[in-house]
Structure 1
Amino acid sequence: MTSRLRRNGMHIVTLLSAQGVSSVGNYLFLVAINVLVLERTGSAVAVASLWTVQPIASLVVGGWMGSLTDRLNQRTLLAIVEILRGILIVTVPLFSEVGFIYAVLFVFEILGVAFSRAFLPYQTRLVPETKRLRVNGITQMLQSGAVLLGPALAGLILWHNRPNDAIWIDGATFILSAASFVLLPSFRDVPPSSDESSKLRLLREDWKSAVSFLRTHNLVLAVLTVIYLVLVIVEAGNSVEAVFASSALHLGRVGYSELTVASGIGLVVGSVVVTTVATRLKVRWLIVVGLITTSFAYLMYSFSTSLISAGLCLVGLGLFASMLGVGVGTYIQFNLPVEIMGRVMNVIEPIQSLMTVVLILGTGYISDITSVRISMIVITSLATVVALVACVFWMMPGHAKRFETT
């Protein structure tokens, strides 16, 4: 028994290490490819267009990727995805056409969707229920640390070398992540359906089963809908954050970088706090408090007038966003059957991606016809109202047991 627990503990450490290295690689690649495109085109529009690739890729594959990841060996799939991402990245410097870079980024984001769909079910299978909250806190901490470490590592490499060198080093991080996944155990996967020959029919049945599950678990649907709606609204605010820092706060590049660091520090501190006290926290409180405070901190940011006030708001935003992230991750693990987790996300993620694109375009339009501060106030006020209404409802006594994770 002791040896089994020790072995499981080593597997969890290996999983977290693989996920942490992969997260650093994501942010390192993001910075390097932005610099590379800027150097080759000199166009701000070309660089900004890179940010539209991820939601477009999610729209293209998000409706069926979960059907694939639910049926394949998820450990093997995670390793293959990381190898493919590593190989894909190192090909970028070999071509001068910017169109090729966009194509590579598109395939990279598709592989990223596959990774996210497979990782959470695999983590749910590997981590015992009693350890999920703490492990989710550590996962959030690693992701938050990657927000700081990835760009910092990219900046250090770019200071002394070309963007190509950063991209090649980034490719190595994904190969290292793949090697870590190979060391992990392989779980018995869901057997293929007898209707495997009819792919469209299989996908249709998967959608029906996911929609049926969400209809019969209305609180799960309501929680995920509200949380993703608020996160989409916040993402729309993020899309004009650089403009807000420049025109509303009158900050230069250095000031905007300091705001980004402030948010990253908040994420790391919040993750450490949640991980430290994880066993004493209820998932319902993590979600409710995290959702309200995250929305309110972003609302206060939209009213800020100086670097100090904006920085403090973003530290708070990062701190409370960590709390929300851990709560949501744990809630999903306990309320979505691991066998259909990917299929449920088939229904949810494409809608989220479409809403992200629409709200980003809407926020940009409001910024053009009015001002970026007004657009930030509108978008953050909407997020705060949605969060408050939902959380008041969830805090009613009748819903307490429906948030239990035991």
Structure 2
Amino acid sequence: MKKWKDPLLLLLGIGVSNIGGWIYLIALNLIVLDEWESPMAVVMLYVLKPGAALLTNGWAGSVIDRVNKRNLMAFLDFFRAVLIAGLPFLSTGWWMYAVVLFINMGSAIFYPASMTYITNLIPAGNRQRFNALRGLIGSGAFLIGPGVAGLMFMMGTPTIALYLNALALLLSGVITLFLPKLEEGERTYTSGTKWEVVKSDWMVVWSFSRRRAYVMVLYVLFTAMLVMTAVIDSLEAAFSKEVLYLSDSTYGYLVSIAGGGFVLGSLLNTAFSHKLKHMTLMGAGSVVVSLGYIVYACSYDFVTIAIGFALLSFALAFATTGFETFYQEHIPVDIMGRVGSLYGLLEGVLVILLTVVIGIGAEAWSIRGAVAGGSILMLLLTLVLYFCLKKNSWEKQLKNIQNVIINKKHTHTRGFEDEVDSGSVLGQMGRTDEQGRSEL
């Protein structure tokens, strides 16, 4: 039980933060809609999330891999808490969108930082179970958060809910500070201006991507599936109300069914995590998610769309656990922040572009046609991912990478940068960026 003390403490912080996140999302939507009385004003909030990724992910990885992750996570919790607490005073002007953008930028940095910290904290044999528990907590927050938000609205106003979210983030930050300050590993050699450091880090990621192309192909294929879920979900409300003519309350039931499916999937995933391979979860889970979207796109009544929602959310719990474990097992921890951030930048660009494309398709063609087209594209992507994962040659290559990562840890090499050609920028650098390595 002692070895799980720190992981359970980390899960507690994640759970508190996730519940607060759902309260914040619902409260902010209602505040903006009441203030501006325009659905477009609410849509702008969702555009800010990928926009924040575009502004931060190009350089965030360079920071993440050079600072103490625990302190960075706690700082980001406190930073977002202060900004959220200030939102009620800015709800009448465009300044509110600027503050929300900074909140989203903090969240964009937090995710890759937390993934790197988790990889360092959790032994390889326990990561899949930890990720399953993390998914279970996320699904619980999906059900608890909106309920708490509704209770806050009954007792007062959405503003109170925002303050509650700020308090949740403060508590999460305090919990994070009780976690161990892990070793940062070998120093990263850099020189020149900060722009040169960032550019050299891009070269590290590019070199890794070329040398380990099979890993990154799998990574990109799964990320493309996640992008398609976000793109199709942008038409979810319009499809439910304008195509199937569901009422607001019936649409609310659909959201609850999706949450229930995710909870059930997370429970089973946690129970059988020791028996399931993460590659199987990642491949088969992705295909079932896309099949759920196909059922959703072809539905003509509440029952069929409910089946589609339950199926896709159930499978998503398995797929995301498999992907997170894959990410932790096959990306070297010393460059994990940079890889996650730069590929997150690609994800943000794709979300924005494809959301615009599917929106235009819904206007020019039909909402059902746009949703069906997106679902078919997702199915094709996940089938390619599945068959790639089934090939023995890929499995052997991935095992070889794991062995390389393990050997590098035992031999105390300087990190992945040593694999870059000696004639490259990194090979010519000769001093350590002490300021980049300093703790927050």
Question: What is the rounded CA distance, in whole Å, between the counterparts of 2:96 and 2:108 in structure 1?
Answer: 18
1:349 aligns with 2:344: yes
Which residues in structure 2 correspond to 1:99-248 (within 5 Å)?
Answer: 99-190=94-185, 193-248=188-243
- The structure 2 residue matched to 1:83, chosen from 73, 78, 88, is 78
State the SS of the aligned residue for 1:296.
Answer: helix
1:28 aligns with 2:23: yes
**Offset at 1:192?**
5.4
* Paired residue type of 1:311: A
State the SS of the aligned residue for 2:184.
Answer: coil
- The C-alpha deviation readout for 1:252-279, integer Å capped at 9, x for no partner, is 1111111111111111111111110001
Tell me if structure 2 keeps the 8 A contact 1:267–1:321.
Answer: yes
Tell me if structure 1 keeps the 8 A contact 2:13–2:173.
Answer: yes
- The C-alpha deviation readout for 1:163-188, integer Å capped at 9, x for no partner, is 11111111100011001101000012
1:295 aligns with 2:290: yes
Structure 2 gaps of 5+ residues are 404-440
Partner residue in 1 for 2:389: 394
Q: For the structure 1 residues 398 and 193, does the alpha-carbon distance in structure 2 shift closer, same or farther, using more than 3 Å as the test? A: closer
Partner residue in 2 for 1:321: 316
Which residues in structure 2 correspond to 1:52-63 (within 5 Å)?
Answer: 52-63=47-58
Tell me if structure 2 keeps the 8 A contact 1:63–1:347.
Answer: yes
Question: What is the rounded CA distance, in whole Å, between the counterparts of 1:96 and 1:223 in structure 2?
Answer: 42
Question: What is the rounded CA distance, in whole Å, between the counterparts of 2:275 and 2:398 in structure 1?
Answer: 15
State the identity as a percent: 27
Partner residue in 2 for 1:3: none
Question: What is the rounded CA distance, in whole Å, between the counterparts of 1:268 and 1:19 in structure 2?
Answer: 16
Tell me if structure 1 keeps the 8 A contact 2:70–2:181.
Answer: yes
- The C-alpha deviation readout for 1:20-44, integer Å capped at 9, x for no partner, is 1111111111111111111111111
Partner residue in 2 for 1:275: 270
- The structure 2 residue matched to 1:51, chosen from 41, 46, 54, is 46
- The C-alpha deviation readout for 1:202-236, integer Å capped at 9, x for no partner, is 11111111111111111211111111111111211
Partner residue in 2 for 1:249: 244
Tell me if structure 2 keeps the 8 A contact 1:29–1:167.
Answer: yes
**Offset at 1:145?**
1.7
**Offset at 1:238?**
0.3
Question: What is the rounded CA distance, in whole Å, between the counterparts of 2:146 and 2:86 in structure 1?
Answer: 21
Tell me if structure 2 keeps the 8 A contact 1:61–1:110.
Answer: yes
Question: What is the rounded CA distance, in whole Å, between the counterparts of 1:263 and 1:376 in structure 2?
Answer: 17
Partner residue in 2 for 1:371: 366
* Paired residue type of 1:8: K
State the SS of the aligned residue for 1:273.
Answer: helix
Question: What is the rounded CA distance, in whole Å, between the counterparts of 1:383 and 1:254 in structure 2?
Answer: 29
Size of the aligned set, in residue pairs, is 401
Question: What is the rounded CA distance, in whole Å, between the counterparts of 1:330 and 1:52 in structure 2?
Answer: 29
* Paired residue type of 1:130: G
**Offset at 1:399?**
2.4
Segment of structure 1 superposing worse, 386-395 or 239-248: 386-395
Question: What is the rounded CA distance, in whole Å, between the counterparts of 2:240 and 2:83 in structure 1?
Answer: 34
- The C-alpha deviation readout for 1:136-187, integer Å capped at 9, x for no partner, is 0001111122222212211121122111111111110001100110100001
Question: What is the rounded CA distance, in whole Å, between the counterparts of 2:88 and 2:167 in structure 1?
Answer: 14
TM-score where L is the length of structure 1 = 0.96
User: Aligned-residue CA RMSD in angstroms?
Assistant: 1.4
Question: What is the rounded CA distance, in whole Å, between the counterparts of 2:52 and 2:262 in structure 1?
Answer: 26
Tell me if structure 1 keeps the 8 A contact 2:215–2:398.
Answer: no
Question: What is the rounded CA distance, in whole Å, between the counterparts of 1:96 and 1:390 in structure 2?
Answer: 44
Question: What is the rounded CA distance, in whole Å, between the counterparts of 1:389 and 1:126 in structure 2?
Answer: 33
**Offset at 1:97?**
2.7
Q: For the structure 1 residues 376 and 169, does the alpha-carbon distance in structure 2 shift closer, same or farther, using more than 3 Å as the test? A: same
* Paired residue type of 2:205: A
Tell me if structure 2 keeps the 8 A contact 1:211–1:347.
Answer: no
* Paired residue type of 1:285: T
**Offset at 1:98?**
3.1
* Paired residue type of 1:391: Y
Question: What is the rounded CA distance, in whole Å, between the counterparts of 1:256 and 1:62 in structure 2?
Answer: 34
Partner residue in 1 for 2:8: 13
**Offset at 1:302?**
0.3
**Offset at 1:93?**
1.1
**Offset at 1:391?**
1.4
Question: What is the rounded CA distance, in whole Å, between the counterparts of 1:277 and 1:194 in structure 2?
Answer: 42
- The C-alpha deviation readout for 1:365-399, integer Å capped at 9, x for no partner, is 01001110010000000100121123123212322
- The C-alpha deviation readout for 1:281-326, integer Å capped at 9, x for no partner, is 1111111110110011111110011111111111111110010000
**Offset at 1:194?**
4.7
Question: What is the rounded CA distance, in whole Å, between the counterparts of 1:95 and 1:305 in structure 2?
Answer: 43
State the SS of the aligned residue for 1:184.
Answer: coil
**Offset at 1:197?**
4.8
Tell me if structure 2 keeps the 8 A contact 1:71–1:190.
Answer: no
Question: What is the rounded CA distance, in whole Å, between the counterparts of 1:383 and 1:96 in structure 2?
Answer: 38
- The structure 2 residue matched to 1:340, chosen from 335, 338, 346, is 335
State the SS of the aligned residue for 2:371.
Answer: helix
